[in-house]
Chain A
Amino acid sequence: MAYNLKEIVAKKPARFTAGHRMCAGCGAPPVARMIMRALKEEDHAVVANATGCMEVSTFIYPYSAWTDSYIHTAFECASATCSGAEAAYKAMKRQGKLPEDEHTKFIAFGGDGGTYDIGIQSLSGAMERGHDMTYVCYDNGAYMNTGIQRSSATPHFADTTTSPAGKVIPGKMQARKDLTEIMASHHLPYVAQSIGVNNFKDLYEKAEKAIYTEGPTFLNVLAPCPRGWGYPTDMLMEINKLAIDTCYWPLYEVENGKYKITYKPAKKLPIEEFLKPQRRFKHMFKPGNEWMIEEFQKEVDKRWQELLDLEEITNK
């Protein structure tokens, strides 16, 4: 279905329903809802969810916000769990135990902790084995469910409860891991980086492509967290916009090895614009800490340039 926000929202029912208990201003629920909307209405889905905010807020016994089939097992193994369900589907379909003309799609959701860190082995394994499934990482840049601990997705210098900005160590001293690139290096048929609120078209189209590309596909979607990032809950759209306009979070896709940047800001904003509204970066704006902003900017510029180069090289 070609993207038109009004049409999509009016005509395709939400498969991820209201009534869940995620925070006001959280970036994750609109991501889940839009990705589930990208399913064809006649298709059924099995969703596997890693332990995390999304899981503990959408499936508290006896309530569920999911209208499709859903399974949660543990923190690090949404991919393996999903791969097992997909394997059963293949075997049962082959034996005629399931109707031939009806389709089930397999989607796994995990936060950055459950994906970049504790779940990366399970993810890498499932993707390498070629299961027909889509893995979605909703990346909020820390272990938010347990109370804002640093993960390998946490940005440089961010103040978290296990990388506190102190008198000697000013926050997280390492730059972020680039998981989208790691997944691109698995040579999957489709890998993309996207964003929720602010650019639903981008997310919807990438989700549709990911779900309906045969084989293992991966989506990394930025999902800001008002508690962990320290922005007012009504600022979600704006934070997302700043993430892409500063090129902190580039929107792009890798289709069969070809890179395509799906959003190039007309005017690339300085990184301060993204950092400033967030409490986790507050210490970077104290006098004498200008070097931190400079270093952050350098890293963003370097990665953006690498992406531009990759786009050029792979489309030659």
Chain B
Amino acid sequence: MGIRERLSGNEASAIAMKQINPDVVAAFPITPSTEIPQYFSTFVSNGDVDTEFVAVESEHSAMSACIGAEAAGGRAMTATSANGLSLMWEMIYVASSLRLPIVMSLVNRAVSGPLNIHNDHSDAMGIRDSGWIMLFSENNQEAYDNLIMAHRIAEHKDVRLPLAVCQDGFITSHSIENIELIEDEKVKEFVGTYKPEHYLLNRKEPIAIGPLDLQSYLFEHKYQQAEAMRAAKKVIADVSADFEKLTGRKYSFFEEYRLDDAEIAIVCMNSTAGTTKVVVDELREQGVKAGLLKVRVFRPFPAEEIAKALSHVKAVAVLDKSDSLNAAGGALFEDVTSGMYVNNVHVPTVNYVYGIGGRDTTAKDIHGVYSDLQEIVKSGKADNPYRYFGLRK
């Protein structure tokens, strides 16, 4: 059995990093992820890890140093939030195009401006087309578990892509909850050692990385990235199955909560799923067939699987904790609905933008969404699919 503890999401992530024992951690302080490099540098100072901690002067340099370290042949990790990720943005694309399996803990926070330090998903949505694998986590346990699985997925020879583990800033990063940790030795064995095929520090085979890549080859290289992202689905499934054998904790592309016989369903990510589960249970007691689909694997996007899982319901609400400001709907909504459309699933679906800048999301709000869905089922109409909840009147 694992080790029972009480930890915040940030502490749990830092402990996962300690157990992974990467060669390099390069990070810069930014709320609410600051605690991760803080805890981690204590592990470094106390000799608990073999890692070089590079206390860089910006997040741009954090990602650049991770790229240098990973390309050199080491395992590199970082943590950031919001504007930190924005500053990294240029290098986020470089990391994935160089096929470097860097792992990042992304503690989601609203991107400026104006300045706000609280949770939403606008930071994560900014890198959704960057070629990073993105895993979302409902609570500290999932943030920890996703990090333990991260390197196995990212480093797999069919994948070789960087990976971000998301969790909600403050809501999970700073909340102390029960958690079951895995023993150090078991983590070490599960994660394994990093054996890159080609790397800068292999003097027997000097390599050049990051060329000027013009019309003759860039397209093919981008296609290879797309193939790797497609291949990642199987690898994620395999690694998750192995993880279940180790811990008994089951992870899929998404979690279906009382969805199999549901008539109305919410699709959301991260901590809102916890609140939604409570509401689903309450509604079920009242005889309302409510269900939840919680997306864990956002990139690669399991479009076909999600469409199939929602095919039997009568109305769907997709919750986006980030507005795409495109006058059409949030990113998750667009992905879910286009997945449903191309897979011939025609269920009335609406979008709610919510929780922006840390606006509290209550059970009452979620109840409101489900009652809207009941209305849609009753009337058979879903007017104005691009909606909000939690806005001041």
Contacts and interface: CB of A to CB of B under 8 A. Distances in A.
B73 interface: yes
A84 B217 contact: no
Given A73-B94, A81-B67, A68 B54 contact: no
B262 interface: no
B61 interface: yes
Nearest to B55: A129
Most buried by B among A48, A92, A122, A124: A92
A104 B73 CA distance: 13
B208 interface: yes
A46 B202 CA distance: 10
A87 B69 contact: yes
B209 A125 contact: no
B74 interface: yes
Interface of A: 44, 46, 48, 55-56, 59-62, 64, 66-74, 76-77, 79-92, 94-95, 97-98, 102, 104, 121-122, 124-126, 128-129
Given A70-B207, A80-B62, A84-B68, 8 more contacts: A59-B211, A71-B68, A73-B68, A81-B65, A87-B65, A87-B68, A95-B23, A128-B57
B57 A88 contact: no
A80 B26 CA distance: 10
A85 B71 contact: yes
A84 B203 contact: no
Contacts of B72: 46, 84-85, 88-89, 92
Given A70-B208, A88-B69, A121 B58 contact: yes
Nearest to B26: A84
Contacts of B54: 83-84, 87, 129
Contact of B200 (A69, A80, A125): A69
Interface of B: 23-24, 26, 50-52, 54-58, 60-62, 64-74, 76, 90-91, 94, 98, 200-203, 206-214, 216-217
B74 A92 contact: yes
Contact of A73 (B55, B67, B216): B67
Contacts of A90: 52
A46 B67 CA distance: 13
Contacts of A79: 61
B211 A84 contact: no
Nearest to A104: B201
Contact of B206 (A44, A80, A128): A44
A227 to B, nearest CB: 18
A35 B52 CA distance: 28
Contacts of B210: 59, 71-73
Most buried by B among A55, A69, A79, A102: A69
Contacts of B76: 84, 88
A75 B119 CA distance: 32
A129 B69 CA distance: 15
Given A73-B94, A91-B50, A95-B50, A82 B57 contact: no
B368 to A, nearest CB: 46
A88 B74 contact: yes
B211 A44 contact: no
A88 B73 contact: yes
B206 A67 contact: yes
Contacts of B64: 73-74, 77, 80-81, 84, 122
Contacts of B217: 61-62
Nearest to B71: A71
B50 A61 contact: no
A293 B26 CA distance: 48
24 contacts: A56-B212, A60-B211, A60-B212, A64-B211, A67-B206, A69-B201, A70-B200, A71-B200, A73-B68, A77-B60, A81-B67, A84-B54, A87-B26, A87-B65, A87-B69, A88-B23, A91-B51, A92-B73, A104-B203, A121-B58, A125-B56, A125-B61, A128-B57, A129-B55
A104 B201 CA distance: 8
A48 B68 contact: yes
A169 to B, nearest CB: 32
B212 A74 contact: no
A92 B21 CA distance: 12
A92 B208 contact: no
Contacts of B207: 69-70
B208 A88 contact: no
Contacts of B67: 71, 73, 81, 84
Contacts of A87: 23-24, 26, 52, 54, 65, 68-69, 74
Contacts of B208: 59, 64, 66, 69-71
